[in-house]
Amino acid sequence: MAVNRTGLAVETSGLVKTFGKTRAVDGLDLAVPAGTVYGLLGPNGAGKTTAVRMLATLLRPDGGEARVFGHDLRTEADAVRTRVSLTGQYASVDEDLTGTENLILLGRLLGYRKPAARERAAQLLAAFGLTEAADRQVKKYSGGMRRRIDIAASILNTPDLLFLDEPTTGLDPRSRNQVWEIIRAVVAQGTTVLLTTQYLDEADQLAGRIAVIDEGRVIAEGTPGQLKSSIGAGTVHLRLRDAAQRPEAERLLAKVLDTTVQQEADPVALTARVGGSGAAVDAAAAGSRALAELAGAGIVVDEFSLGQPSLDEVFLALTDKAARTEEKA
C-alpha cells in the first residue's frame, strides 16, 4: 500500500483538544511507524480516547498538526476515512440489528453491491467464529462476541490503520486472548494498529512501541523493554512468617539489593525495586541472592515474587521523574 515518504502511519505535533477548561489532549506528539502495533498507555482520563477520536476524524483538533498516511486530518478528512477504521470502547455496531445485517449495512455503505456485501459478511462472520450467531441481534451477544463483531465490522473495509480503543477492557481472560490473537493476525497482514490500553501487560504482549500518556501529553516513549528498564527491571514482593523479623529483613534486603525497601501496610510484607537502568538481566539473580541471605539469617519467607513493574509503578516512576525535571528547570 502507498505509504508516505516518512513511512509513518500517524504523525502529530502539538495536538490539542479542549473541552471547556479541560485540556484533554495537551500538546501530543506522536510518530507511529506503519505496519506495527503501537500502544497508547495511560490511566483513565489521560486523553487516550480523545486522541484516538481526533485521529479517526470524529473530533476536530483545537490546535497542532496531525497527519494520517500523510493526509492532513483537517483538510483531507475523507481521504483519512478511506484508510482508517475505529473500534471504540462501546459497541460501534447497531445492537438492534443481527450480526449479518450489521456487516451487510457497512458493506453497502462502503460501496459493495448487495451480493458482494452478503458474501463479505458471511466470510467475516466465519473468520470471527460468529457464523452460528449471524442471525441473532447483537444485543444478545456475549461481551467477547460483541467485541469480535465490532472488530469484524472495523476490518470490513480492509483499513491500513486500525484504531482499537481499550479492546479488552471488561473481557474475560479467554476472550481477551482471542482479541490478542486477532490483533496479531491483523497486523501480520500489514495493517497498522494503534491500540489504547490501561494494561501494561497488554501493551507488552502486542505493541512494538509504546507511548505513555498522562494529562494529554506523552511522558515517555519507546519499546516495552526500554520503558521497563528505564524504571527498573522488576519488583520483589515478599511476605514473612513473623512480623517481628521485618526490620531485620528490611535491613538485609536493602544491603543485598542495594536499593530502598518499602514496608507495606500488611505488617509482614516488604517491597523492593530491583535492577536499575540497564541492569535488567540482573534482577532474577539479585532476587535469588536476597532469598538465600534471608534464609541464612533464619528469616522464614512465606511468599516471594519477582514481577514486572505494574502500570502503577511505571506510571508513578515516570510522573515522579517528570516532577523532578520540572523542579530542576
Partner 1 sequence: MSTATVAPESTAYTPSAESIAAVLAPGEKPRRPGPLSASLTFGWRAMLKIKHVPEQLFDVTMFPIIMTLMFTYLFGGALAGSPREYLQYLLPGIMVTSVVMITMYTGVGLNTDIEKGVFDRFRTLAVWRPAALVGMIFGDLLRYVLAALVIMGVGLVLGFRPGGGVMGVAAGIGLLVVFSFAFSWIWTWLGLILRSEKSVMGVSMLVLFPLTFLSNVFVQPTTMPGWLQAFVDVNPITQLVAAVRSVMTGAPEAGAITWVLVASVACTAVFGALTMYRYNRK
Residue number, 82 or 277, with CB nearest to partner 1: 82
The CB-of-51 to partner 1 minimum distance in angstroms stands at 15
CB 203 within 8 A of CB 195: yes
In angstroms, the CA 201 to CA 38 distance is 14
Q: Is 9 in the site for partner 1 (CB under 8 A)?
A: no
Q: Is the dihedral of CA 196, 200, 203, 209 positive or negative?
A: positive
Which of 28, 164, 182, 195 binds partner 1 (CB under 8 A)? It is 182
Residue number, 96 or 264, with CB nearest to partner 1: 96
Binding to partner 1 (CB under 8 A) within 144-173 occurs at: 144-145, 148, 153, 155, 157-158
The CB-of-152 to partner 1 minimum distance in angstroms stands at 8
Measured CA distances, 247 to 1, 236, 243 (Å)? 62, 16, 9
- The site for partner 1, by CB under 8 A, has a size of 61
The span of 12-20, 129-137, 205-213, 224-232 binding partner 1 (CB under 8 A) equals 129-137
Which of 19, 63, 126, 288 binds partner 1 (CB under 8 A)? It is 126
The span of 26-34, 176-184, 212-220, 301-309 binding partner 1 (CB under 8 A) equals 176-184
Which of 127, 269, 317, 322 binds partner 1 (CB under 8 A)? It is 127
Q: Is 142 in the site for partner 1 (CB under 8 A)?
A: yes
E strand or H helix at 291, and its extent?
helix 282-296
CB 51 within 8 A of CB 25: yes
Measured CA distances, 34 to 11, 162, 313 (Å)? 10, 11, 30
Q: Is 185 in the site for partner 1 (CB under 8 A)?
A: yes
In angstroms, the CA 154 to CA 87 distance is 6
- The cell 520503558 sits on which residue? 227
Cβ-based neighbours of 146, under 8 Å, separated by 6 or more = 91, 93, 138
Binding to partner 1 (CB under 8 A) within 51-80 occurs at: 53, 56-58, 60, 78-79
Instruction: Tabulate helix, strand, coil % of the chain (nearest 5).
Output: 40, 25, 30
Which of 20, 75, 132, 296 binds partner 1 (CB under 8 A)? It is 132
DSSP 91-156: --S-TTSBHHHHHHHHHHHHT--HHHHHHHHHHHHHHTT-GGGTTSBGGGS-HHHHHHHHHHHHHT
In angstroms, the CA 188 to CA 87 distance is 18
- Grid coordinates belonging to 182: 486477532
Q: Is 49 in the site for partner 1 (CB under 8 A)?
A: no
In angstroms, the CA 203 to CA 180 distance is 10
The span of 132-140, 212-220, 251-259, 291-299 binding partner 1 (CB under 8 A) equals 132-140
Which of 63, 184, 244, 288 binds partner 1 (CB under 8 A)? It is 184
Cβ-based neighbours of 192, under 8 Å, separated by 6 or more = 9, 10, 32, 33, 34, 35, 36, 37, 38, 160, 161, 162
Q: Is 5 in the site for partner 1 (CB under 8 A)?
A: no
The CB-of-90 to partner 1 minimum distance in angstroms stands at 4
Site string for partner 1, 88-117 (x = CB under 8 A): xxxxxxxxxx---x---xx-xxxxxx--x-
Binding to partner 1 (CB under 8 A) within 270-299 occurs at: none
* Residues lying near partner 1 in the complex (CB under 8 A): 1, 53, 56-58, 60, 78-79, 81-82, 84-86, 88-97, 101, 105-106, 108-113, 116, 120, 123-124, 126-129, 132-133, 137, 142, 144-145, 148, 153, 155, 157-158, 174, 178, 181-182, 184-186, 188-189, 191
